[in-house]
Structure 1
Amino acid sequence: MKFYKYLTIIFLSLIIIGCGSNNGQKKSDFKLNTNSKNNTFSNSDTLRLSLENPKNHTIDSISYSLDGRKIGVSTALNNFKLGKQTIVATVYFNSEQQSINENIIILNNEQPKIYTYKIINEYPHDITSYTQGLEFFNDTLYESTGQYKESKLRKVDYKTGEILKNVNLADEYFGEGLTILNNKIYQLTWRKGIGFIYDVNTFKKLNNFKYGTSKEGWGLCHNNNIIYKSDGTEKIWTLNPETLVEQDYIQVYTNKGKITEINEMEYIDGEIYANRYQKDGVAIINPKNGAVIAVIDFSPLKKLVTQHKGLDVLNGIAYNPKTKTIFVTGKRWDKLFEVEIVEN
Structure 2
Amino acid sequence: MELHDVLSAIQADERPSVLATIVCVEGHSYRKAGATMLIKLSGEKIGMVSPGCLEQDLAERAASVWASGRFDMIEYNMNPDEDMLWGDAVGCGGKIQLLLEPVTGLLRSLLLDALKQNAAGLAVRLDRSWTVRDIEYALLVDGSFDDSLEYTGDEDGDSTQMRMVISPKPRLVLFGAGKDVEAICSIAKHIGFHIVIADWRPELCTKERFPEAECAVGMPEQLVERLQLHSEDYLLICSHNLHQDKEMLRLTLPLQLVYIGIMGSKKRIRLLFETFLIPSNVRAPVGLSIGADGPSEIAVSVAAELIAVRAGRKSRSRREAVRDAYFSSLFGGRAKQANGRAEAVAGAIERQAARLDGAACSIFKPS
TM range (shorter): under 0.3
TM-score, scaled to structure 1: 0.26
Pick 1 or 2: higher relative contact order, CA cutoff 8 A, min separation 6.
Answer: 1
In terms of fraction of residues, the more strand-rich structure is: 1
TM-score, scaled to structure 2: 0.25
